[in-house]
């Protein structure tokens, strides 16, 4: 069983022919406006980001505090703590959820216009499938990203369609778990009844009641197929996030495969999600033995941070351990190293 874990770095460095600034092969093209953001870029002053912010004005007082050389996830965690005793924070954080939904939805669409499905995800999945077909293995893909780049690649490579929630866990070969939610997921709103738009929802935030029922979203802002507006089913990216935002049956499916994992690949992931780490390390239901490990990051410090947080780099002298410090594109450029690790 192979477990692949994707973080924000996988989407940020998702197109081999459009590498990010500061990485090998970067060309001075005007692409950074449309590139999927890292966590500390979620509130950048990109024109499309600002346009989305203007639609959710309640988040404006917090934007300056989430820009520049700051720990965005730490700041958001502080805001969540403040929301317990300071009601305006609850409305501001709800506005941030709607902002993230709209901003990432439109960013994903613009990035698609650049890559047209020729992504590192597609090449990576093709390599996995060659190995999986030969070894008759099962693959579990876990992502903490909200975008649908993995779903798009699985559609390109395997013909998968994720038109309902059962599709994510029904296939015998590949399971996809999105633990922090998705731009095309929403919760049904119970109060206010039949909300017309996010503005109405934010105005009635003190009375807001959201169901635990997930629905697929067909358009922004969080519109279902019947035109009803929902609440974004995506987790605000806070430091040491301890909650999941996905259907409980998806979490159960993940828990059922973890004990069978023999190989792990992490891509652009810093391993800071505490609840997931606890699942991996649980003595009774977590990983068994010492799985082979490959850590992919855009720089050596990222590799070190992931290793330290994951705590598996030195476990088991007989297992394989590999690192790539040139990002997702570096892994694709050295696809033979991936195949060597898998075999």
- For residues 319 and 216, membership in a common domain is answered with no
Judged against a pLDDT cut of 80, whether residue 23 lies above it is answered with no
Judged against a pLDDT cut of 70, whether residue 288 lies above it is answered with yes
Average pLDDT of the segment spanning 198-203? 92
Over residues 46-81, the pLDDT tens digits come to 999 999 999 999 999 999 999 988 999 999 999 999
- For residues 191 and 316, membership in a common domain is answered with no
Domain assignment of residue 25, yes or no: no
What is the rounded distance in angstroms from the CA atom of residue 281 to the CA atom of residue 252?
16
Over residues 121-166, the pLDDT tens digits come to 999 999 999 999 999 999 999 999 999 999 999 999 999 999 999 9
Residue 224, phi then psi, degrees to nearest 5 = -85, 170
Helices (H), the chain: 8-12, 47-54, 60-63, 72-83, 87-115, 120-135, 149-158, 167-170, 198-203, 248-257, 274-281, 300-310, 327-333, 335-342
Percent of residues, the chain, with pLDDT higher than 70: 94
**CATH number for the domain including 153?**
3.40.50.1220
DSSP β-bridge partners for residue 321: 293
- For residues 83 and 201, membership in a common domain is answered with yes
- For residues 52 and 64, membership in a common domain is answered with yes
What is the rounded distance in angstroms from the CA atom of residue 239 to the CA atom of residue 261?
26
**Helix, strand and coil in the chain, % to nearest 5:** 45, 15, 40
Q: How many domains does the chain have?
A: 2
- For residues 111 and 122, membership in a common domain is answered with no
pLDDT at 313: 60
Average pLDDT of the segment spanning 109-113? 96
Q: Are 9 and 298 contacting, i.e. CB atoms less than 8 angstroms apart? A: yes
Q: Which distant-in-sequence residues (6+ apart) come within 8 Å of 227 by Cβ?
A: none
Q: Which domain does 319 fall in, by range?
A: 2-16+117-181+245-342
Judged against a pLDDT cut of 70, whether residue 39 lies above it is answered with yes
pLDDT at 290: 87
- For residues 333 and 213, membership in a common domain is answered with no
Over residues 217-256, the pLDDT tens digits come to 999 899 999 989 999 999 998 866 667 999 999 999 999 9
Judged against a pLDDT cut of 70, whether residue 111 lies above it is answered with yes
- For residues 250 and 333, membership in a common domain is answered with yes
Domain assignment of residue 24, yes or no: no
Nearest to 296 by CA among 237, 262, 341: 341
What is the rounded distance in angstroms from the CA atom of residue 75 to the CA atom of residue 189?
27
pLDDT class of 20 with cuts at 50, 70, 90: confident
> From the CB of residue 92, how many other CB atoms can be counted at a distance below 10 Å?
23
pLDDT class of 283 with cuts at 50, 70, 90: confident
- For residues 266 and 157, membership in a common domain is answered with yes
pLDDT at 28: 60
DSSP β-bridge partners for residue 186: 215, 232
Residue with tokens 């500061």: 22
What is the rounded distance in angstroms from the CA atom of residue 208 to the CA atom of residue 193?
10
What is the rounded distance in angstroms from the CA atom of residue 11 to the CA atom of residue 144?
11
pLDDT at 284: 84
What's the CA angle centered on 100, arms 99 and 106, to 5 degrees?
Answer: 90
Average pLDDT of the segment spanning 203-216? 93
> How high does pLDDT run on average in the chain?
93
What is the rounded distance in angstroms from the CA atom of residue 285 to the CA atom of residue 69?
39
Judged against a pLDDT cut of 90, whether residue 317 lies above it is answered with no
Q: How is residue 324 written in tokens? A: 């790539």
């Amino acid at each position: 069983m192979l477990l692949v874990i994707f973080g924000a770095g996988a989407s940020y460095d998702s197109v081999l022919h459009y590498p990010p600034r500061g990485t090998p092969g970067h060309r001075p093209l005007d692409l950074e406006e449309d590139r999927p953001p890292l966590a500390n870029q979620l509130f950048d002053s990109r024109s499309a980001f600002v346009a989305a912010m203007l639609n959710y004005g309640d988040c404006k007082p917090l934007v300056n505090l989430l820009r520049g050389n700051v720990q965005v996830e730490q700041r958001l965690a502080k805001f969540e703590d403040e929301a317990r005793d300071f009601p305006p924070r609850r409305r501001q954080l709800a506005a941030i959820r709607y902002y993230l939904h709209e901003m990432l939805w439109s960013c994903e669409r613009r990035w698609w216009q650049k890559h047209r499905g020729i992504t590192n995800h597609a090449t990576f999945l093709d390599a996995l499938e060659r190995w999986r077909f030969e070894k008759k293995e099962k693959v579990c893909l876990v992502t903490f990203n909200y975008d649908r780049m993995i779903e798009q690649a699985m559609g390109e490579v395997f013909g998968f369609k994720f038109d309902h929630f059962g599709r994510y866990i029904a296939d015998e070969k590949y399971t996809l778990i999105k633990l922090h939610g998705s731009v095309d997921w929403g919760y049904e709103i119970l109060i206010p009844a039949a909300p017309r738009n996010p503005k109405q929802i934010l105005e009635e935030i003190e009375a807001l009641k959201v169901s635990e029922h997930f629905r697929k979203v067909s358009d922004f802002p969080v519109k279902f197929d019947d035109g009803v507006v929902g609440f974004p089913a995506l987790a605000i990216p806070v430091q040491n996030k301890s909650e999941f935002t996905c259907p409980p049956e998806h979490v159960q499916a993940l828990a059922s495969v973890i004990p069978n994992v023999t190989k792990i690949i992490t891509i652009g992931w810093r391993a800071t999600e505490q609840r997931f780490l606890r699942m991996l390390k649980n003595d009774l239901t977590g990983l068994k033995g010492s799985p082979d490990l490959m850590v992919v990051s855009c720089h050596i410090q990222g590799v070190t941070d992931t290793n330290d947080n994951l705590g598996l780099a030195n476990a088991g002298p007989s297992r394989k351990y590999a690192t790539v410090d040139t990002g997702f594109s570096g892994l694709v450029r050295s696809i033979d190293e991936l195949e060597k690790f898998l075999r």
